[in-house]
Structure 1
Amino acid sequence: MDFTVIDGPTSTEIRLQGRMTFSDHDTFRSVIAAFDRPAGHRMVFDLSGLDFVDSSGLGMFIIARDTAQKKKLDFTMRGARDEVQRLITLAKLHKVFTIDA
């Protein structure tokens, strides 16, 4: 998995690309480091570049959401394509995440 962080004054977009699997835990720590923002800041995961997510990747989404909640940040995901969207729906994570169209 690769990622790019794009900072704005009130929001930060994190673009995830490639495959998100168990082997990406170390990389994901760097993603979580981007959550060091003031309360009320909006964190957006852009999933449009993700081709695949395994169950560990889904767990990383939960870690991101929990981290955002602890830091009082708004957390949103958007742009999930077919396979990734299907897994999010199967895991019923669309019921616990804010997902923008």
Structure 2
Amino acid sequence: MSGEHRPATGPDLRVTVERVSESVCVVRPVGDMDMDRRHQFAAALDEAMQPPAARVVVVDLAGLGFCDSTGVNALLTARTTASAAGIRLVVAGPSQQMLRLLEATGADEVFDIEEDVDAALNAADG
């Protein structure tokens, strides 16, 4: 699959938004996300949902080394936006630290979580 890449860079975090098909977009944060870098991540999530909006947005967390509660908050905000627009938001490849954070905040109950991007893309096709 080919898509459009739009990187946004900041200190210790790189986020790309890739449209892998007409109906699916993948957001990939790589590095560390904290309060100082949350806005960069949130902007990429917003970009993924702009018209023409994808039917599914996959957030690939495999490259995320660290994430605090502000990153989870950005995901929750994006989920609300996605839900209102009829877009499915899927979290893919979270680390054990990220899974613990999602569980501790109860966010694991509101997200579709897949092992990796391939599993998320397969679920999006099904």
1:6 equivalent in alignment to 2:15:
no
TM-score of the pair, normalised by structure 1: 0.89
Counterpart for residue 7 of structure 2: none
Structure 1 unaligned regions, length at least 5: none
Q: Aligned to 1:52, which of 66, 78, 85?
A: 66
Q: Aligned to 1:62, which of 76, 80, 95?
A: 76
The separation in 1 between residues aligned to 2:79 and 2:93, in whole angstroms, is 17
* Greater radius of gyration (CA): 2
- Calculate percent identity across the aligned residue pairs: 28
- Is the Cα contact below 8 Å between 1:40 and 1:72 reproduced in 2? no
| TM superposition outliers: structure 1 runs of 4+ over 3 Å | 37-40
Residues 1:99 and 1:25: Cα distance change in structure 2 (over 3 Å): same
Structure 2 unaligned regions, length at least 5: 1-12, 116-126
Aligned-pair Cα RMSD in Å: 1.6
How many residues of Structure 1 are paired with residues of Structure 2 in the alignment?
A: 101
Higher relative contact order structure (alpha carbons within 8 Å, sequence separation ≥ 6): 1
Q: Aligned to 1:83, which of 83, 97, 121?
A: 97
